[in-house]
Structure 1
Amino acid sequence: MKRIGIMLDWQIVQKAKDGKQSYEQLPYYVEIGKELGLEPVFFHPRHVNLHSDTVIGHFWNGRRLVSSKVPIPKVIHNRVLSGDPATRKMIRELGRSRKVFNGIVVRDKLKVHKMLWDNYLVRPYLPQTVAFQPRALERFLSTYPVIYVKPAVGSVGEGVVRIEPAGKQYWLISSGMKKVLPKSRLLRELERWVGSRRFIIQEAVPLACYRGSTFDIRVSVQKNGERKWGVSGMVAKVANPNNRLSNLARGGMAVSINAVFSSLFPEEKANRVKALLSHAAVEIAKQYEKFFPSLADLGLDMGIDKHGAPYLIEINVRDQRYSFYKAGEVEMFKRTYQRPMEYAKSFLK
């Protein structure tokens, strides 16, 4: 049985060695691997020894991970998300001698926006996005009804604030804060919030609502065994009514895409909207791939307006996938594990 490397975050490996669960479903890798004639080897980049061409690999024994020194696999799916320079350096080094897919990419939201904006076919899906500056903030407040201020690099909604009108004043909303401020205080508060960190200002997509709350859609876009992009699944994430954030870590709720769309559109229109979302997601993935050819597994946060027009909100290069599980979409959940394994196998034929 040929081996496939699965590089995981350090904490994930340590938890699994202790028999504890995380968002990574290691048994799925093993189960799918058996079907494909593959054996997954789990490890973190610090487990690698390039001089001896070996790795302290970890194998699932049904209850936990057990370790064994083995040759470095020829094909590796990178699931590590780390800013640690040594870890990133090792991932790059591995990419020189092995097929490492989903390698190191730029995660800066403004840079990603500019990369996507290069393609005129993708532009209609992109909300206006600029670097945070006081003048730009005032311009966005006078141009768009709702805006977001976000860290240039961040995930799970951490550090995100939403600004929307409250009469002649403004709501300032985050996961731990909700208050009304006059414009002058709002500007001062946001400058303090941002400080010297790199933030962006983004037009809020005019999202459709489900049962009175806005929602966005996690679209899993992955390459298959034929090395072609396709959509492995979609799931709606309904916003927490208190902070207006849809991230599950911030109180959002995962709901079946069919349940949401059937409440908004007739069946034929719902299918057309899903097809539009799929087309947009694949086009976005292809454009992003032009800058990072190792990409093969993405989680796109997308939205639709009340007419069903698709918009991109954010690209996630290490989709945690658990929104599919939370919504009860077990088949989609498993498919998000299967497609990367099929893609990996295509390099071993």
Structure 2
Amino acid sequence: MVKGIQGIKSYERLPYYVEIGKELGLEPVFFHPRHVKPGDERVKGYFWNGNRLVSQLVSVPGVIHNRVLTGDAKARNVIRRLSQKKTVFNGLVVRDKRKVHQMLWKNEQIRSYLPHTVPYSMEQLRQFLNKYQVVYVKPSIGSVGIGVARIERHGGNYHFIASKKRQILSHSQIFSTVRRWVGNKRFLIQRGIPLARYGGKTFDIRVSVQKNKEKQWTVSGMVAKVANTKNKLSNLSRGGTAVPFSEALVPIFPEVKQQQAVIERVGIAAVEIAEQYGRHFSSLADLGMDMGIDERGNPYLIEVNVRDQRYSFFKAGEKEMFKQTYRHPLEYAQALLTEKKKRKHLLLAPSQLL
């Protein structure tokens, strides 16, 4: 969103918001928390005039879809204040992957979707490497695969695979290598899911889960992300490729009914996970989940992203799904605005009776 405002090329399609907004009777205004004026009542907003963005000083909208992911304290304070005065969805939430795992683990019904995950320590790493053939060491807070290391056990050796690193190490070397990799940062250790393959490469699934006009969680789209053979990462920014999910399923589940059953299972799991996460943060309404399936089609959660970049749908040629990820947040925003108007009407009603 910020790149779009600054005129930098990105996969965020601002005209989609405008086009869908017209259908719904909404006019979206784009802004960054830094654009909000003192007092939080006015903002330097940007409007799409059909060719470019034009700035205008306007009132802060009553409903705000937060697409900003930042560690900047000032920006976060603005978002925090606006959340108290306005209706902000996808506000500030806990993003620490270990804490999110703990929140989800509280719900026994979704535990089967959650791979074994623990805070990083040398002792835990030793136990995981003894128990599992594939282990991931990843930052507690991070995105797009940065800092993620995959460790594969092959007999008495270990393959250490990261974005720009691939080493074959002995038992003693793997621990010293991981220790240097982690440093003083917060990391976690996660069992590697036995992922299904497409074209000989493992793949996971980006699932867009959003609240709709009924204010219910729904799946807006699914797309397969096929891993890069060099670093084993499926992140598109790390060399992964996107293909339609149904296409990735064909070699494993040739029958259409089988494919539909797997898609349905992944969708049910994603919605259940979103509902559980949302019990801890009521503002959540727009999530991008990385999920995986094994060769039997059992779904697993890899991680939850609270600012889905959506471009995997575009890259896979799933244009309708791509557009749907814009439509549902706007329909949800419209529902929130309608609710605010009804509430205001109810507040006025008693005085009108006098």
Same-fold call, TM > 0.5?
Answer: yes
> CA 1:164 to 1:36, structure 2 compared with 1: closer, same or farther past 3 Å?
same
Q: 1:246 to 1:345 in 2, by over 3 A?
A: same
Q: Which amino acid aligns with 2:59?
A: P
TM-score by length of 1: 0.95
State which of 53, 59, 64 in structure 2 corresponds to 1:71: 59
> Does residue 127 in structure 1 map to residue 115 in structure 2?
yes
CA drift of 1:262 comes to: 1.9
Q: 1:214 and 1:338 mapped to 2: Cα distance?
A: 31
Trace 1:70-109 onto structure 2 (pairs within 5 A). 70-109=58-97
Q: Helix, strand or coil for the counterpart of 2:206?
A: strand
The answer (yes or no) to whether the contact 1:166–1:180 under 8 Å persists in 2 is no
Specify the alignment match of 1:299 in structure 2: 288
Q: SS state of the match for residue 100, structure 2?
A: helix
Provide structure 1 residue ranges, at least 5 long, that are not aligned to the other structure: 1-7
Supply the AA of the counterpart residue of 2:117.
T
> What secondary structure is seen at the aligned counterpart in 2 of 1:92?
helix
**Structure 2 residue aligned with 1:3:** none
Aligned to 1:175: 163
Which is strand-richer, 1 or 2? Answer: 1
1:14 CA drift (Å): 1.4
Indicate which of 21, 37, 40 corresponds to 2:28: 40
Alignment deviations for residues 58-94 of structure 1 (CA, whole Å, 9 cap, x no partner):
0112232110000010000000000111111110100
Aligned residue type for 1:304: I
Extract unaligned runs of 5+ from structure 2: 339-354
Read off the aligned partner of 1:185 and give its amino acid letter.
Q
- 1:141 Cα shift? 0.1
Pairing 1:13–2:5 present: yes
Matched, 1:249 2:237: yes
Aligned-partner residue type, residue 292 of structure 1: F
Give the whole-Å Cα distance in 1 for the aligned partners of 2:199 and 2:30: 42
1:265-276 correspondence to structure 2 within 5 Å: 265=253, 266-276=255-265
Please tell me the residue identity of whatever aligns with 1:139. Q
| CA distance in 2 between partners of 1:175 and 1:320 (Å) | 20
Is 1:289 equivalent to 2:281 in the alignment?
Answer: no
Q: Which amino acid aligns with 1:157?
A: G
Once residues 137 and 52 of structure 1 are traced to their aligned partners in structure 2, the CA distance between those partners, rounded to angstroms, is 47
> How far did 1:167 drift?
3.0
Q: Superposition RMSD on alpha carbons, in Å?
A: 0.9
- Inter-partner Cα distance in structure 1 for 2:5 and 2:180: 38
Question: Aligned residues: percent identity?
Answer: 58
- Give the TM-score taking structure 2 as reference length: 0.94
List structure 1 runs of 4+ shifted beyond 4 angstroms.
Answer: none
CA distance in 1, matches of 2:144, 2:52: 27
Aligned residue pairs total: 337
**Structure 2 letter corresponding to 1:302:** M
- The verdict on how the C-alpha distance between 1:187 and 1:14 changes in structure 2, with shifts beyond 3 A counting, is same
- Which string of whole-angstrom CA distances, capped at 9 and with x for unpartnered residues, describes residues 167-225 of structure 1? 31000000101110001011001101111100000001110101100000000000000
Structure 2: how far apart are the matches of 1:325 and 1:207? 23
- Please tell me whether residue 329 in structure 1 is matched to residue 321 in structure 2: no
Write the deviation string for residues 205-255 of structure 1: whole angstroms up to 9, x where unpaired. 110101100000000000000100010000000000111100000000000
